[in-house]
Structure 1
Amino acid sequence: MADNIIIVGGKRVCIRLIGLLKRKARYNITVIENNRKILKDIEDKYDDVNIIKGDATNKAVLEQAGIADADIIVAATSIDEVNLLIGILSQNYNLKKIIARTANPSHIKMFKKLGLNEVVSPELTACIDIQKHIVEPKSQTINNGGKEQYEIIKVPVKSNKAIGKEIGAISPADDYIIMLCTKGDRELIAQNNIILEKGDILTILAKSKKVKKVNKFFTKDRLI
């Protein structure tokens, strides 16, 4: 029986991965991507790949792509925070594997502690690694059984230690990673060049034991 695979992010990694998987000829592949040109390129090259245009951090888009019946999801965008959010959302479904790409190898340990089955990095030849995790029956499953626990919190930016700083200058840190930055009615995926302003609301993945410390860092001016 063919496995149902969802690949999120349709750039070079996705296109190359589809080609590698097609050699095995036993996968039903769905791609989620926002860029119409990239989707058109995939559609022209692979007429049997299901195409979904949308934001995969939206639960409705994941369900439209068939995540309820999927076996594997691959979060392969170029933004770690997006891949992490997709991985967390995907844990609500009965998937065999959740595979996430990270551009920063230092994030691998955190991703695995959060229950993402497999994590790969471009520095570790992403396409080949992802394909190996999909097709190898003996791939190890990583669960969130470690001692470290994490929580997702929302924190307003009030501290001078954060105001005026680029996200990339303070995240990721040992105790947290910023995932989203809400500026007024705009909710932005956390990217390194976003400058924090007073009143911004941050969605942060923080170690449970460090939640108070993280809150104080962004809301208090005294040292923590």
Structure 2
Amino acid sequence: MSGRTMKIIIIGAGEVGFYLAQKLSQEKHDIVVIDNKPDKCARMRESLDVAVIAGDAASQKVLNEAGLKDADLLIAASGIDEINLMACMMADKLGVEKKVARVRNPDYYEETSILKPSDLGVDMLINPEGEVIDEILRLLLRASASEVIEFEEGKIVLVGLKLDGNCPNINNPLREIGTREERRHLRVVAMVKGEKPLSLAETTVWERTTKFSS
């Protein structure tokens, strides 16, 4: 998905948090998961190669332990709106670039709400339930992109990704990038190394290449 390894903190080890941690750890991102339920933390530790902290995600001490100040992205996806919003507020104060909150209560996102997401330090507020995973993964793609151009009111998106030495796809054949399901929705349309366009007949991904996908 990305040419850049990001430090990502995920709050909530339920089904949404588990899937996101699984997906993002496969992309070689540095993942820390926080949850206050020991059984969910144990499942996460046993199943995935991610760091797990058992504790209250609304606690500054716990967030500091997770390395919040060094995070590129906070995904607050617990089942409690107030915990998600509190964590985003603290992340905003520490200068975390992207903050995503999963919120169920319409009081926090309706047009008549006194407080807007931006007042709470939230860059993207996700609701309803079905949008959570897809929207967060879209955000990650955009956050790591060097260029994003939309066509047909966003139905088609051209994304430029600069691939450095940390990219897990370096030296791999194009046909092996992503899962079969992901390749159904993604097409590599151009590759550029320096100022030189590479032929799409080129089957290997090289370091310091910019890949344009749609």
Fold-level similarity (TM above 0.5): yes
CA contact (8 A) 2:25 2:31 kept: no
Q: Which residue does the alignment assign to 1:67?
A: 68
Structure 2, unaligned stretches of length 5 or more? 111-115, 149-214
User: How far apart are residue 136 of structure 1 and its match?
Assistant: 2.0
User: How far apart are residue 22 of structure 1 and its match?
Assistant: 3.3
Per the normalisation by structure 1, the TM-score is 0.56
User: How far apart are residue 111 of structure 1 and its match?
Assistant: 1.9
Q: Which residue does the alignment assign to 2:15?
A: 12
User: How far apart are residue 3 of structure 1 and its match?
Assistant: 0.5
Change (3 A) 1:124 1:112: farther
CA contact (8 A) 2:69 2:91 kept: no
Q: What amino acid is aligned across from residue 91 of structure 1 in structure 2?
A: D
Q: What amino acid is aligned across from residue 55 of structure 1 in structure 2?
A: D
1:126-141 residue pairs with structure 2 within 5 A?
A: 126-137=132-143
- The alignment partner of 2:13 has SS state of coil
Q: What amino acid is aligned across from residue 37 of structure 1 in structure 2?
A: D
1:96-135 residue pairs with structure 2 within 5 A?
A: 96-105=97-106, 107-108=108-109, 110-135=116-141
Q: Which residue does the alignment assign to 1:163?
A: none
CA contact (8 A) 2:100 2:124 kept: yes
1:63-102 residue pairs with structure 2 within 5 A?
A: 63-102=64-103
Where do 4+ consecutive residues of structure 1 move more than 6 Å?
A: none
- The alignment partner of 2:137 has SS state of helix
User: Which whole-Å deviations, capped at 9, do the CAs of 1:83-107 have from their partners, x for residues lacking one?
Assistant: 1111111112121101100113452
Distance 2:130 2:122 in 1: 17
Kindly report the root-mean-square deviation, in angstroms, between the aligned alpha carbons of the 2 structures: 2.2
Distance 2:86 2:77 in 1: 12
Q: Which residue does the alignment assign to 1:41?
A: 43
Distance 1:123 1:39 in 2: 22
Alignment partner of 1:2 is 2:5: yes
Alignment partner of 1:54 is 2:60: no
Q: Which residue does the alignment assign to 1:153?
A: none
Distance 1:135 1:108 in 2: 24
CA contact (8 A) 1:20 1:131 kept: no
User: How far apart are residue 120 of structure 1 and its match?
Assistant: 0.6
CA contact (8 A) 1:112 1:119 kept: no
CA contact (8 A) 2:76 2:101 kept: yes
Distance 1:39 1:132 in 2: 26
User: How far apart are residue 35 of structure 1 and its match?
Assistant: 0.7
Kindly tell me the number of residue pairs found equivalent between the two proteins.
138
- The alignment partner of 1:135 has SS state of helix
Q: Which residue does the alignment assign to 2:194?
A: none
Per the normalisation by structure 2, the TM-score is 0.59
Distance 2:75 2:96 in 1: 11
